Amino acid sequence: MAQVSAAVAAVRDAIRRHPWWTDSVLALALTVIGVGSVLVATKRAGMSLAPLDAVLVPVTTVPVALRRYRPVAVLTVTIAAETVLLLFSHQVQVPLGVIVALYTVASRCERPVSIRTAEWTAIPITLGVIINTGPNPGRILPKLALFAIAWVLGDNIRTRRAYLAELEARAARLEREREEKADRAVIEERTRIARELHDVIAHNVSVMVVQASAGEEVFDSDPARARESLSSVAATGRSALAELRRLLGVIRAEDDGVETAAYTPQPGIEYLDELVRQVQETGLSVELSVMGRPRVVPEGVGLCAYRIVQEALTNTLKHSQASAAQVSLRYVADAIELQVLDDGRGTAPAGNGGSGGHGLIGMRERVALFGGELTTRPRSAGRGYEVRARLPLEEART
């Protein structure tokens, strides 16, 4: 069975690739059959082949070689020749060329065109049969039935071909949409990783710079404190390297096609204490207050909250020249609210609000991702800066 299917597939492929040769062979076969049937009929009648039959019988079949290129023209020529034979020839033959030409029109032309050509075929053939043999239904109906069968088969093939073409087009469209979704997913993942890298590097490097500067200032006067600052620099550097390894490990896993791996968990709200202690080691006084009844927060919301506090404290260290900061976390009915205040210069970090920076822009993107609200502004007292965010929990779960 498999061999038969393979042979049929090979024949179909050959026909698709060489329509001219296959149609020429078909036209030759029909010509041989048509001329042969006329010769046999004339021999039985004790007659010789009439010149009209010798000329017009091939005209009803030879044009079939061009049926894929000019189907309507081929049908017109074969009908004309067959009609003349019906009117003036005494040898009745099966109009094979007309049947094949009509089938081709029905299978390759739109239905309105094929219906009109079928009507044009039926009318002259019917008139020719009536004139040749009289109004005999026994001779008219079989010919019309052959034409009807040919038209129905051709129309069915055309409909099936159009259906398969639509399926192929739909499959190609779905494939393009899948590739576009994959490309968007890649871009979104790269954006997420870029934000993570920015948060990790900007925060930890800022902390290390402040700690190193503090150690340098007391290096001679207070060696013990200087050593503590250097230890903090080393600890912060190890933490930064660990997060960088995690992020780069994710990238390598995606490149290698690895779906799961054992990575350290991403930070969330439960890591805010550690973040505050890390910043306090730089010399900045930071207080953390938690209000409301703590509850489980979705991982994405927790990571977003952690990164917002991290970015706000990083900006405080780098840009505000502040001496103290306050971090507030409030649990409300359907959201968590964050507030980071400092007593610095009260101006936005240079470039963050425009095209040059990414800190505040990254915070806005994160908050927008969860349908939250973000406010960044100088404090009303004229000294200090405020970052306030509200992250809904209900929307995050839907």
The amino acid occupying position 44 is R
- Retrieve residue 285's tokens: 């006084």
Judge whether 286 lies within some domain: yes
Give the three-class secondary structure for 101: helix
Count of the separate structural domains present in the chain: 2
Res 379: pLDDT: 83
* Rg of the chain taking only CA atoms, in angstroms: 43
Judge whether 165 lies within some domain: no
Res 222: pLDDT: 74
Judge whether 256 lies within some domain: no
- Residue 261: which residues within 8 A CB-CB, separation 6 or more? 249, 250, 253
Res 261: pLDDT: 42
Show the domain range for 28.
Answer: 19-135
Judge whether 312 lies within some domain: yes
Rounded CA-CA distance 109/245 in Å is 64
Res 63: pLDDT: 92
Contact 89, 130 (CB under 8 A): no
Domain boundary among 135, 153, 180: 135
Closest CA to 93 of 64, 119, 63, 54: 54
Judge whether 235 lies within some domain: no
Contact 68, 23 (CB under 8 A): yes
Judge whether 319 lies within some domain: yes
Judge whether 238 lies within some domain: no
Contact 42, 49 (CB under 8 A): yes
Domain boundary among 101, 135, 169: 135
CB-side neighbour CA atoms (13 Å) of 302:
14
DSSP one-letter code for 21: H
Domain boundary among 135, 156, 186: 135
**Considering the entire predicted model, what is its pTM?**
0.47
Contact 127, 79 (CB under 8 A): no
Contact 79, 34 (CB under 8 A): no
Res 358: pLDDT: 56
Helix 96-108 vs helix 111-133: angle between axes, to the nearest 10 degrees? 160
The amino acid occupying position 146 is L
Per-residue pLDDT of the chain (398 residues; tens, 9 = 90+): 667 777 777 777 776 777 778 888 888 988 888 888 888 877 776 777 778 878 888 888 899 999 888 999 999 999 888 888 888 876 667 788 888 999 999 998 888 888 888 888 888 878 877 777 677 777 778 878 888 898 999 999 999 988 888 988 898 898 888 888 877 877 776 777 677 666 666 677 777 777 777 777 777 777 777 777 777 777 777 777 666 666 666 565 555 544 444 445 678 888 899 889 888 888 889 999 999 888 888 877 888 899 899 889 988 888 888 889 999 999 998 899 999 999 888 776 654 444 334 567 778 878 887 889 999 988 876 678 999 999 998 654 44
Helix (H) or strand (E) holding 120: helix 111-133
Strand 285-291, strand 324-331: pairing = parallel
Judge whether 216 lies within some domain: no
In DSSP notation, 224-293 reads HHHHHHHHHHHHHHHHHHHHHHHHHHHHHHHHHT------PPPP-GGGHHHHHHHHHTTT-EEEEEEES-
Res 251: pLDDT: 60
Res 1: pLDDT: 67
- Retrieve residue 183's tokens: 């490309």
Res 258: pLDDT: 43
